[in-house]
Amino acid sequence: MCPERDIEKIAKGWTIAMLYSKERLKRIYDWGNDQLEEAAKGGILVLETVCLFVHACVKHGQYQLPFEFWKVLHAEYGIVVYPSALTEDIDVGSSFLAKNPLFLAG
């Protein structure tokens, strides 16, 4: 395991998850850019991104996140990720994963 390479993969995975989270929130709630910006300020975008990121990247064993990641999520956003999130399967959508092989290829 190479920490520098893992950080690059983590950043890439987070960026992709953030992009798709923005698109999903806009689509589901029919939000414009202003509402999405408010959601980002309120932490909703981070929560959505964390959910997608954990299940599409971390859970598939591409890498292990540093402890500081979890600490910042809790301290800055009040988000706690329980260990079961890393072991229980959910369907993030096979069409999503088919369009985004970077999540699984790492």
Beta carbons within 8 Å of 46's beta carbon, 6+ residues apart: 40, 73, 77, 79
CA angle 4, 73, 40 (to 5 degrees): 105
Which pLDDT tens digit goes with each residue over 5-58? 778 888 888 999 999 999 989 999 999 999 999 988 888 889 889 988 888 777
d(CA 11, CA 34): 25
So where are the chain's domains? 3-101
CA angle 99, 35, 12 (to 5 degrees): 35
Which pLDDT tens digit goes with each residue over 5-19? 778 888 888 999 999
